Copies of this chain bind each other. A is one copy, B any other.
Amino acid sequence: MSVTNLFDPSGIAVVGASDTPGKIGYEAMRNAIEFDGPVYPVNPSASGTVFGREFVPSVTEIDGDVDLALICVPAQVVPDVVAECSEADIGAAIIFAGGFSEAGPEGQELQDRLVAAAEEGGVSLLGPNTSGFLEPSRDLYATFASDIEGIPAGNLAIIAQSGGLAYAVAFQAENAGVGISAMVGLGNRATVGFREAIDYFDGDERTDAILLHVEGTDRGRELLEACRESETPVVAYNVGEQDVGDFAESHTGALTGEHELYEAGFAQYGVPTVRSSPELLDAGKALADCPEPDGPNVGIVTAQAGPGIAITDRLKAAGATLPSLTEETQAVVEEILPGITFSANPVDTGRPMPEFGEVVAAVARDDNVDIVLVYELYEGSVGYPTDVLEGVVDEVDKPIVFASGGPEAILDEELAELEELRIPTYRAPERAADAVGALVRYAKRNRNPDAVAAEEVNADD
């Protein structure tokens, strides 16, 4: 079963569409009509129109091109609706309802019936127990959530086991001015799981990094293999370090508790893991926007020692190496700033100054350095080194990551200019350090001979 019908539909049916605000069938319809393609409300007991579209009594009676159904009906009816979708040649369906495998033996039985209907009918299922997905660049909002139209289009694909968590990340992205290519809540993963979603968005030209949220899955091996095979960088937020057993099980019917196993697997395959939703977004942004780092050697330039020390502390904990700068670089730095506070690595300039950008560029050009991390408190009389850094990322083909503090209005304007130079920016020193930590772990993926060996071992079992 292809997931192209799901994530790249030509037309959409909303089954259980309603004209009553607040109902899922209404909210899903309201979102769906933003799509630039035909959208049909389906409801046997409704007549007239909703959002200007005429109700159709059944998916089999749609006169038009539809390959995705948003199923807004109660759980018990869903297997039959999916069978009808198959009849109507609709290749994909999203099941919003809960009450399936997450809801005990009866729910499991219902989900088994659902999967049987889907497999027999060749219908790819997202869910059940999901809030759906969205792709802002195509105005494709296959979800019942509200206030989502402001989530900007961009290059991050969020693939989350939990739709609620997916939205938490997506709104954080919106509020940070970061765009997404897609946001997917997998829910119970009846047929479409991590493997299928990762494969699809790895092949999606709009996507430059894949952000995973994992609570535990019984298809863990597939998940890890999909991550390894993805040419698009993947970063994973693997929840469940502590025992949250019952609650998690009641959620998506999956057991957490194999947290360490996953952490080890991700590490083995060079997939950086993070510990919170803000960190997932921060790491994804760096992975998506920066050139691929060649190694874990970080050159730090800071205009304030305290944040520089916090950054250094955190980077070392993340496994980064802080190499000595070459004599050439040290000579350049000392010529630019004689008597500089600390001209090894980190380079501490003491305060921002007009030459700050030249120091950053010198460190970026250092052969010992794979990744550059800069911290500078905003000072109005100096500003940011946007002019000096123009073209430097492409020239050195290395990640340059920039963190700063200052009033929001200034940062919004001035950091946006740095972002245009492919320099991701952050507003707390530790958040930038964590993002660079993910780059460091990603860089190690390509250098780790053990990973290759482990691959071979796994291939035998």
The chain A residues found within 8 Å of chain B, CB to CB, are 21-22, 27, 98, 145-147, 150, 160-168, 171-172, 174-175, 213, 215, 239-244, 246-248, 250-252, 256, 275-278, 303-310, 312-314, 316-317, 341-342, 344, 346, 348, 350, 377-381, 405-408, 410-411, 427-431
Residues of B within 8 A of A341 (CB): 98, 250
Contact between A309 and B172 (Cβ–Cβ < 8 Å)? no
Q: Is the beta-carbon distance between B428 and A276 smaller than 8 angstroms?
A: yes
Among B171, B309, B350, contact of A98 (Cβ-Cβ < 8 Å): B350
Residue of B nearest to A409 (CB): B150
* Chain B residues positioned under 8 Å from A278 (CB to CB): 428, 430-431
Residues from chain B with a CB closer than 8 A to the CB of A316 are 242-244
Q: Assembly of this chain: how many copies?
A: 2
Closest 5 CB pairs of A and B: A162-B306, A164-B304, A165-B306, A242-B316, A276-B430
Q: Which residues of chain B come closer than 8 Å to A303, judged between CB atoms?
A: 164
Partner of A250, one of B174, B276, B342, B429: B342
Q: Closest Cβ of chain B: how far from A101's Cβ, in Å? A: 14
Find out whether the CB atom of B174 lies under 8 angstroms from the CB atom of A306: no
Complex: A303 Cα to B165 Cα, angstroms: 11
In the bound complex, residues from chain B placing their C-beta under 8 Å from that of A346 are 247
B contact residues around A377 at 8 Å (CB): 145, 164, 167-168, 171
Q: How far is the CA of A312 from the CA of B213 in the complex (A)?
A: 15
A48 to chain B, nearest CB (A): 22
When chains A and B are docked, how far (Å) is the Cα of A164 from the Cα of B348?
Answer: 12
Find out whether the CB atom of B215 lies under 8 angstroms from the CB atom of A309.
Answer: yes
Q: Please judge, given known A-B contacts A160-B306, A305-B251, whether A146 and B381 are in contact too, CB under 8 Å.
A: yes
Q: A165-B310, A277-B430 are in contact. List 4 more A-B contacts (CB 8 A).
A: A171-B377, A171-B407, A243-B316, A250-B341
Q: Is the CB of A342 within 8 A of B247?
A: yes
Query: Contacts A162-B309, A163-B304, A277-B310 hold; do A146 and B380 have CB atoms under 8 A apart?
Result: yes
**How many whole Å from A143's CB to the nearest CB in chain B?**
12
Interface CB pairs A-B, < 8 A, 10:
A146-B378, A160-B306, A164-B305, A164-B307, A164-B308, A241-B313, A242-B313, A276-B310, A276-B314, A278-B431
Assess the B244–A312 pair: CB atoms within 8 A: yes
Nearest CB of B to A381, in Å: 5
In the bound complex, residues from chain B placing their C-beta under 8 Å from that of A380 are: 146-147
A400 to chain B, nearest CB (A): 20
- Determine how close the nearest CB of chain B comes to the CB of A409; give it in whole angstroms: 8
